[in-house]
Chains A and B, each alone.
Chain A
Amino acid sequence: MRILCVLLAHFPWRCEVRRNPSLESRPAIVTYTSGSHRLVHDWSPGLEGLQRDMPLQQALARYGDAELLQADIPRYRAAFSEILDALEEKSPLVEGPEPGLVYIGVDGLHLIYPDDGALLQAVREAIPETFMPQIGIAGNKFLAYLAARRNPPGGHRILSGDDVIAFLKDLPCDVLPVLSKSRNRLHDFGMHTLGRIAALPPGPLQSQFGPEGKRIWELARGIDDTPLYPRFMERAIEESTVLSSVTVSLEAILVAMELLLVRVFANIARDGLGIRSLTLWTRTWSAENWERTIQFKEPAMEMRAAMSRIKRVLEDYPQPGPVEQVGIRVNRLGYPPGRQRNLFSELRAKDHLIEDIKQLELRLGNPQVYKVKEVEPWSRIPERRYALTPTGR
């Protein structure tokens, strides 16, 4: 399958630039709060050495003059969702595993776009220019991702079958999507490039790395059978409200959540659907985001089932500050669980009956229920033929 990978590097930062173009020329770090820690979410290009989720203190130690921006994750997600929507008009097979990374299945699109140039043009048109997409086209996801990543912002690369070995040969083994421990071990063995790994037979790698060794070997040769998981086309249900005044009161937040949940259920109840997964989110007056996802083992079909979980989550995970806006996003819907009938329901029913009869006998002291049993059905003497025997014995 031919895959087109769109890489939108520094997606959160570019979302901020889109909102405030003057940020483009200034070094900036997008931060978020986790508990009492402030961590790095993204940064402007050029701030080398920063890593996602690293403590902000460490980042500031390197770039003390960088401007700090509070991450607005719901807005980034909404922006990414818009891009996916636009790309789905070009191809029905669009996967967005994380904000800023898109895989598109492009098999058969040559009937619409006569050559790769027209396809690239169509994809670029679906993405706002601010995001400067890096695009790669190749025979699988891994190669398409690498092809996209080896481009400058706004560039593209198309890998055909003949180019793969030469393309991969000198790439460092750090590009492999495997455990970092495995990558370090590859370096320890002197396998610094994919070309060195690909030159080995698969056996030694498997003996050293187990099942992952086979994957390492395959990836180093450009073999990747990871399927494309197109975005699940499901009704997007999101309800949010701005509170009349900022509040730290859990009760006030709960009331707001309950109102939103009423709207959600009004939306889905007529189809007989329940909630399988939802995300609660809040936004504080200082633009900090709080978000928690709740998975329901069985779809929540009514308010009470959902509210009890929501209440517990809100109690267990306190808000980072006074809340200004609350929202509920439904991630997954589901039908009520099917109750499979017991294949041996008659046996079960009999077991229950016998148990009840035993209880009755224990309470009243004598056999209370009998069943007719054949004793000598051939006997000429009528009273010899059958007997009443206590049930369950």
Chain B
Amino acid sequence: MVEDTGKALRADAYRPVNVPEPVKVAEDDSGLPVAVGEKRRQAIATIEDRWRIDDEWWRAEPVTRLYYNVLLASGQRLVLYKDLATGGWYEQDY
């Protein structure tokens, strides 16, 4: 039996799932994504879907995202979004 170290479990022991990952996205003139990645850049063949989320507007940092469901030239599918508050791009399973 291992002795109890007495170490309390911290609140940060809880970890969110599906946290968005920052990703480098190239945009065209109209702001639509055309390629993903920095070193291994992959072209986006098709934007299959697009939707917007505006939520938690009552908070100091409201959520405003524009999601894209894209098909890469390699055949891989990705869900990307642009944080409209910061302008950053993220990859996230939806």
Contact = CB atoms under 8 A, between A and B. Distances in A.
Contact of B17 (A359, A362, A372, A390): A372
A373 to B, nearest CB: 8
B5 A382 contact: no
A372 B63 CA distance: 24
B18 A383 contact: yes
Nearest to B20: A383
Interface string B1-15: 111110101000111
A383 B16 contact: yes
A386 interface: yes
A183 B80 CA distance: 99
A357 to B, nearest CB: 12
**Secondary structure call for the B interface:** loop
Interface stretch (A137-145, A156-164, A249-257, A363-371): A363-371
B16 to A, nearest CB: 5
Interface in B1-59: 1-5, 7, 9, 13-20, 53, 55-56
Contacts, number: 52
Interface in A17-60: none
Interface residues of A, number: 21
A389 interface: yes
Nearest to B63: A381
Contacts of B1: 359
A174 to B, nearest CB: 65
Interface in B48-94: 53, 55-56, 63, 92-94
A259 interface: no
A362 B2 contact: yes
A181 interface: no
Contact of A362 (B4, B18, B92): B4
Interface of A: 359, 362-363, 365-367, 370, 372, 379-390, 393
28 contacts: A359-B1, A359-B2, A362-B3, A362-B5, A365-B5, A367-B9, A367-B13, A372-B17, A379-B55, A381-B53, A381-B55, A382-B18, A382-B20, A382-B92, A383-B18, A383-B19, A383-B92, A385-B17, A386-B16, A386-B17, A386-B18, A387-B14, A387-B15, A388-B14, A388-B15, A388-B16, A388-B17, A390-B9
